[in-house]
Amino acid sequence: MKRLPVFAMLLLCSCDNFLDESMRSDYSPENYYTSEDAAAAAVVGVYASLYGTKWWIFGDVASDDAAKGGNAGDQAGMDGIDGFTATSDNGDIAVFWQKTYETVSQANNVIAYVQPMNIPTRDHLIGEARFIRAFSYFQLVNIFGAVPYKDKPQTTADAIHVALSTPDLIYSKIEADLQAAADALPPYYGAAERGRVTQGAALALLAKTYLYQQKYSDCLAAIQRLEDLQQYALLNNYADLFHSGAEDSTEVIFGLRFAQSMEVSLGNEFTVWMAPSIESGYHFNAPTQAFVDCFTEPTATGSGDPRLDASIGRNGKPWFNGLTFSDSWSEATGYLVKKYCEDNPSARPIGYSTIPYHYLRYADLLLMQAEALNESGAAGANVPLNSVRRRAGLADTTAAQSTLRAIIRTERRRELGFECHRFYDLMRYGREYAEQALVGTGFTWQEPRYYFPLPQMEVDANNKL
């Protein structure tokens, strides 16, 4: 994978005398962004910056779906997030913040420096960068609430030291980026360029952004635009989503894909964190009994919901490579996440996994559509909901609005388990739902909702805070 050049400040000193020096580097924006190939390589660098970010710590571990897992005493920062005792000096919060703003910074560079270039792919490349910037701020606003909105290259004090913006303002900026990206990006790519952000990805994240703000008519309009592309459909078999090659299926809208390479940095890091120790994994993000218990509804034929064993390892059930799962592999809860564990460990050692991570799937869009229709009082919410249920073998539901709300929320939990959405859903469902789900975890609701503390390193470095 291509990498962006590193821009560095060089400070020269001699004895006690310091010299004022201008910025020096092998490349400056002026001499780097001079060709279409250079601009394209810069965009590749923006994509690369997404890898290694632990969204699952906030999306899963902070939720009722998972405990921290791992060995007792490991990764104390995760304990603080899991038990809602995290303070501003929490290391995992600091790393997440730093990596996410690095992605924002790289996206800002592309947007600013590609804009004046006279190249055929200019709008397309900027659209990709705007999507990734929006995606990054979507994570930040849902984890921290008010955050600094930085949208310029970090070359001046005013661009570096930025005051907090309200969540409403952050959301408006996300919407603007995604609307522009949706207008600039193609609906699909050829085989050589698959994995790049599409128009459908921009529309899907835009729909999710509207849903989180209860802008239901806007959400439905974005989903309709996506449907009009006629690019997406559910796979017949849920479990097929979590194998190498699934990233090219009709259900996947946006996610991370991993190279078939013997360079460990290009493999799926989720596998290392979540696999059992017998496969040299760290067995973090351990599913809870509460997650297992939400699969009590039988299928139309009386069997169990197949999504449960496709999602997690349970005692006595088949694992990979001919192994049978043992609850002793997970001292925290007796369960481990299966979705990201290597399905062929004899061919690809842990750390080199090509199992994809799906952030946006068509099933998620159908459930968003069902929720937006139901919450707005419109007819037809059962139709997209039943499409998802039918794939899992569950009977169609004809429930009315108040009952349907609970069914949709449970369906999201079962369908999207361990895809880094659950904590965000708990917060937007409101105080009563969140407190009930997180009882016994140390969680305390804070108006208007719970946010994790800003890292102290940012407070110290940003003089506008």
Using N-to-C axis directions, what is the helix angle for 382-391 and 401-415, rounded to 10°? 40
403 to each of 186, 264, 290, 341, how far by Cα in Å?
Answer: 39, 47, 21, 35
Question: What tens-digit pLDDT sequence spans the chain (465 residues)?
Answer: 333 333 333 223 333 443 444 544 455 676 789 899 999 999 999 999 999 899 999 999 999 999 999 998 899 999 999 999 999 999 999 999 999 999 999 999 999 999 999 999 999 999 999 999 999 999 999 999 999 999 999 999 999 999 999 999 999 999 999 999 999 999 999 988 889 999 999 999 999 999 999 999 999 999 999 999 999 999 999 999 999 889 999 999 999 988 766 555 567 889 899 999 998 899 999 999 999 999 999 998 999 999 999 999 999 999 998 899 999 999 999 999 999 987 776 666 777 788 899 999 999 999 999 999 999 999 999 999 999 999 999 999 999 988 999 999 999 999 999 999 999 999 999 999 999 999 999 999 999 999 999 999 999 999 999
Choose among 401, 326, 345, 327: nearest CA to 371.
401
Tokens linked to 95: 């790393």
Q: Which helix (H) or strand (E) holds 416?
A: none
Q: What is the pTM of this model?
A: 0.92
Strands (E), 308-447: 312-313, 336-337, 357-361
Cα–Cα distance measured from residue 142 to residue 431, given in angstroms and rounded to the nearest whole number: 15
Q: What is the reported pLDDT for 345? A: 63
156 to each of 129, 150, 218, how far by Cα in Å?
Answer: 21, 12, 37
Q: What is the reported pLDDT for 17? A: 41
Cα–Cα distance measured from residue 451 to residue 164, given in angstroms and rounded to the nearest whole number: 14
- Cis geometry, peptide bond prior to residue 167 (ω within 30 degrees of 0): no
Choose among 462, 451, 453, 455: nearest CA to 94.
455
Q: What is the reported pLDDT for 118? A: 95
Query: Could you tell me which residues come within 8 angstroms of residue 75 by beta carbon, excluding any fewer than 6 positions away?
Result: 68, 92, 284
The answer to whether the CB of 96 falls within 8 A of the CB of 58 is yes
